[in-house]
Each structure stands twice: as C-alpha cells, then as structure tokens.
Amino acid sequence: MLAGVAILSASLGGCINIAAPDEPIVIELNINIRQEVIYRLAEDAANTIDENADIF
Amino acid sequence: MGEMTVRNSILAGFASLAAIGLVATPVLAQRDPAYAAARSAGKVGEQADGYLGIVGAADPALQRLVDDINIKRRAVYAEKAKENNATLEAYALTAGCQAVARTTPGEKYRAPDGSWQTRTDAAPIRDPRCP
C-alpha cells in the first residue's frame, strides 16, 4: 500500500495538490469546553442516555 | 361550596400521586416509531453538540418531531448539568460524543466539520475532545 502510494507520487513527479475547500469550515462547538470536563461527565452522560432511551 | 373544596382537594391529591408516580417510574421507554423510522431512513442524525439534526429537506412533521426531542434533551441536559456542576453546553457536548459513538451502521451523524456522514462499522469522526 505504502509502496503503491510512493510509486504513484513518484510517477506524478512528486507533486501534491491540495485544493482549498469551497466553503469555509465552520466550527460551531464551544472551544472553551475543556477535555477534562468532558471526561468527568462521560459516565454520567452515558447513564443519562440509557435512562432516556426514548429521546436518544 | 364546601363539597366542591373537598372534591377539589381529592382531585389535587390524585394529581400529585400521579405526578409522584410519573417521577418515580424509571424511564425505560423506547423510541417513538416515527422517530425510529426517521433515524433508520437517514432523515435525522446525531450532531456533535448533543442534539438531533435533520439531514435533508425538512418537512413540518419531521421538524416537529426533531424539535420535540431536542426540547426534551435540553431539559435533561440542563438538569444533569446542574447536578454535576457543569454548563449545559459541556454536558450536551459530552452526551453528543456518546450519542454519535452509539449510532449504528447506516445511521447518520454529523462530523465536526458540519458534514453529514453515514455511520459504517468504523469508528465515527468525532470531536477530538471526546473520550
């Protein structure tokens, strides 16, 4: 697989084209929510989903 | 007048008993058939923010169904966030991590870039902060 990619890149003269996306990438989620908070809440949130299976 | 008051208080008693019964009963209800159908058809999907989203064109019935579920989810998130001294958004995002992870192959979920994805056997694309 890697060798194939290497051969392919070599055959294309080593050019890598990266096209910019047409639309801006929108990140809506609040970046101020820290990972440790999510880890702390994870177990409770899993139980909440189990207990409210009708709306999840 | 006196009889009316007695009757009213009896009715109120029944009402509060019913309310207590409702709260004490564990909620193990299953998905509404319309919701289950919309999920399997890929018309609705799980979003990283913890809420349900409409994948394609929204019709009024589908919009109502999704709004109804999201209002209920928000109420649950608010209560649980308070219990855990967390913000509503943090709790919702945590639930979103789980809800996306729990989608089954064929169901839709929204990747962090906003695009709708169809769940495969592989792990879904989630927010990097997800456990």
Answer yes or no: do B97 and A38 touch at CB < 8 A: yes
For B108-118, the pLDDT digits (tens) are: 999 989 999 99
Residue B40 lies in a domain: yes
Angle, in degrees to the nearest 10, between helices B33-40 and B60-83? 100
Summarize the confidence of residues B56-82 as an average pLDDT: 96
For B96-108, the pLDDT digits (tens) are: 999 999 999 999 9
Task: Tell me the pLDDT band of B1, cut-offs 50, 70 and 90.
Answer: very low
Task: Return the domain boundaries, chain A.
Answer: 29-56
Q: B79 pLDDT exceeds 60?
A: yes
% of chain B surpassing 70 pLDDT:
79
Summarize the confidence of residues B85-94 as an average pLDDT: 96
Q: Of B87, B106, B103, B86, nearest to B47 (Cα)? A: B103
Q: What tokens were used for B119?
A: 């769940």
Query: What distance in Å separates the CA atoms of residue B127 and residue B89, rounded to the nearest whole number?
Result: 14
Q: What angle do CA B65, B69, B73 make, to 5 degrees?
A: 170
Q: Of B76, B128, B125, nearest to A33 (Cα)? A: B128
Of B28, B76, B94, the CB nearest to A38: B94
pLDDT, position A41: 97
Answer yes or no: do A56 and B131 touch at CB < 8 A: no
Residue B128 lies in a domain: no
Q: What tokens were used for B105?
A: 């192959």
Q: What is the ipTM of this complex?
A: 0.76
Residue B111 lies in a domain: yes
Of A38, A44, A54, the CB nearest to B32: A54
Summarize the confidence of residues B64-74 as an average pLDDT: 98
Residue B17 lies in a domain: no
Residue B110 lies in a domain: yes
pLDDT, position B17: 47
In this structure, the number of other CB atoms found within 10 A of the CB of residue B127 comes to: 19
User: Three-state secondary structure along A6-32?
Assistant: HHHHHHCCCCCCCCCCCCCCCCCCCCC
Q: Tell me the shortest Cα–Cα distance from A38 to chain B, in angstroms.
A: 5
Q: How high is the mean pLDDT of chain B?
A: 86
Q: How many domains is chain B partitioned into structurally?
A: 1
Of B73, B83, B90, the CB nearest to A55: B73
Q: Tell me the shortest Cα–Cα distance from A23 to chain B, in angstroms.
A: 11
% of chain B surpassing 90 pLDDT:
76
User: Do B86 and B74 touch, CB atoms closer than 8 A?
Assistant: no
For B9-18, the pLDDT digits (tens) are: 544 544 554 4
Query: What distance in Å separates the CA atoms of residue B6 and residue A26, rounded to the nearest whole number?
Result: 61
Closest-approach residue (CA) in chain A for B92: A45
Per-residue pLDDT of chain A (56 residues), as tens digits, is 555 555 554 555 677 787 776 776 665 567 778 889 999 999 999 999 999 999 99
3-state secondary structure of B48: coil
Q: Which residues 22-51 of B have a C-beta within 8 angstroms of A?
A: 26-32, 48-49
Answer yes or no: do A41 and B99 touch at CB < 8 A: no
Residue B101 lies in a domain: yes
Is this prediction's pTM over 0.80? no
B65: domain range?
31-118
Answer yes or no: do B84 and A41 touch at CB < 8 A: yes
Q: Of B96, B54, B99, nearest to A33 (Cα)? A: B96
